[in-house]
Amino acid sequence: MLILLTFSVLSADGIRYLDEVFESVQKTEDVVYGNAPDLPFWFWVESNTVDIDLDMDVYEPEGDTLTNRPVIIFVHTGSFFSGHNELDDVVDLSISAAKRGYVAISINYRLGLNIISTYSGERAVYRAVQDGGAAIRYLREFTEEFRINPDQIFMWGTSAGAIVALHLSYLDNDDRPESSYGGGGDPDLGCPICEGNDYVHDPKPNAIVSCWGAIGDLDWIDPTDTVPAIMFHGTLDPIVPFNSGFPFTLDIALPIVYGSNLIHDRLYELGIEHELHAESGLLHEYWGTVNGNWFLGPNEYFYQIQTDAYSFLYNYLDRKSVV
């Protein structure tokens, strides 16, 4: 047993969960994890919704014999009205995670803004958070089928995806924003932890990687929260503010948000484990992408972020005596 465990964790080329120790990856596409009412177009009134399946792709290291494996859920960018789980950066990250020995999940979530609603942006975030929680509950329901550990489910979000990860980690049912209850033609969106499917499990991730994320209210992070976070953010980000302000630096139908620097202050105040990697003078995303699609290919920050994030997650697993 000891010899098998050692072989599964270490290889001649590196350390599992830190380095790419598998040569190839097996991908299963369009796994349905839930169903929810969605806007029929990106910009539409919410009284005219249609039910859609929520799906994800699953990446696994080919030839892996371990069970009880850790999971990383990748949540794409796109400002809550565009994007999908086949964006270049999501696919690259998912393949790399699976080669490191994780089960990598890339999810699609509901998109769209109701342009006649004052709270359209807030409600769009809330729907996406519900879907992220539904994906986690689904995975915790089918741990044996996916050969995963339900207590080692991590979420890695980029831009809008990071906003999903942060809210899912720190927004509790008691913190539910008023806009989610509907009114003025907008339907009640339901509770943050019970939509999308009927599986009864904790919807929170065990740790998160946030790349240029933000949260709607710093008070949603409270002393009962325990989810560790590693955050990356350019200090001159014009899309998601490093400190606070309107997304896109525009006062449109989006609420003021609080970026990684202020989240860091709040987490530090409460003694919640975290790291902040502030990239001085840099902007948004991987500084080489447009909404998740490469136009010049991955740059140095894409790889540095992975190195730092996987070190953070490896240390988490080490404390849990997994590595």
DSSP codes joined into one string, 29-48 = EEEEEEEEEE-SSSB--TTS
HEC assignment per residue over 111-133? CCECCCCCCHHHHHHHHHHHHHH
Average pLDDT taken over every residue of the chain: 90
| Residue range 76-103: mean pLDDT, rounded | 96
Q: What pLDDT is stored for residue 116 in this prediction?
A: 57
Residue 129: predicted pLDDT: 97
Predicted confidence (pLDDT) at residue 164 exceeds the cutoff of 70: yes
What is the predicted pLDDT for the residue at 45? 62
pLDDT of residue 7: 33
In this prediction, residue 120 carries a pLDDT of 83
Rounded to 5 degrees, what are φ and ψ at 258? -120, 120
Beta-strand relationship, 207-211 and 148-158:
parallel
Q: Tell me the residue range of the domain where 315 lies.
A: 2-319
Residue-level pLDDT at 41:
64
Q: Return the pLDDT at 184.
A: 72
Lowest mean pLDDT among 34-43, 80-89, 277-286: 34-43
180, 181, 187, 191 alpha-carbon torsion, rounded to 10° = 70
Give CA–CA dist 223/132, Å, rounded.
23
pLDDT: which is higher, 287 or 140: 140
pLDDT for 162: 98
State the Cα–Cα distance between residues 21 and 98, nearest whole angstrom: 9
- Supply the pLDDT for residue 39: 76
Question: What pairing do the DSSP bridges indicate for beta strands 69-75 and 103-107?
Answer: parallel
Residue 4: per-residue pLDDT: 30
Least confident of 47-61, 152-166, 305-319: 47-61
Residue 43 reports pLDDT greater than 90: no
Instruction: Using the predicted structure, report yes or no on whether residue 114 has a pLDDT greater than 80.
Output: no
User: Within 13 A of 198's CA, how many CA atoms are on the CB side?
Assistant: 0
Residue 123 sits in a domain of what CATH number? 3.40.50.1820
Assign 126 a pLDDT band (cuts: 50, 70, 90): very high
When pLDDT is cut at 50, 70 and 90, the band that residue 50 belongs to is confident
Q: Answer yes or no: is pLDDT of 52 > 60.
A: yes
Closest CA to 243 of 218, 260, 219: 260
Burial class (CB in 10 A: 0-12, 13-18, 19+), 298: middle
pLDDT score recorded for residue 47? 67
Task: Give the model's pLDDT for residue 1.
Answer: 28
The tokens for 24 are 């190839």
The half-sphere exposure of 186 on its side-chain side, counting CA atoms within 13 A, is 24
User: Per the structure, how many domains does the chain have?
Assistant: 1
Question: What are 250-280's pLDDT values in tens digits?
Answer: 666 567 899 999 999 999 999 999 999 999 9
Mean pLDDT, rounded, for 232-251 = 89
* Reported confidence tier of residue 286, pLDDT bands at 50, 70, 90: confident
Yes or no: say if 128 and 109 are a contact pair by the CB < 8 Å rule: yes
- The DSSP call for residue 308 is H
Parallel/antiparallel/unpaired status of strands 14-15 and 50-61? unpaired
pLDDT computed for residue 5 by the predictor: 31
Check whether 98 has a pLDDT greater than 50: yes
Q: What is the pTM (predicted TM-score) of this model?
A: 0.93
pLDDT band, residue 117 (cuts 50/70/90): low
Average pLDDT over residues 280-296: 86
Please state, in angstroms and rounded to a whole number, the distance separating the CA atoms of residues 276 and 320: 22
Alpha helices (H) along 63-150: 88-99, 120-141, 143-146
Collapsed DSSP state (helix, strand, coil) of residue 21:
coil
E strands, the chain, are 10-11, 14-15, 25-38, 50-61, 69-75, 103-107, 148-158, 207-211, 214-215, 229-234, 244-245, 257-259, 274-279, 289-290, 293-294
* Residues ≥6 apart with Cβ < 8 Å to 237: 212, 259, 282, 283, 284
Where is pLDDT greater, at 42 or 188?
Answer: 188
**Given pLDDT bands bounded at 50, 70 and 90, which one contains residue 295?**
confident
At 268, list the tokens.
């530090």
Q: What is the pLDDT of residue 253?
A: 58
Q: Is the pLDDT of residue 239 over 80?
A: yes
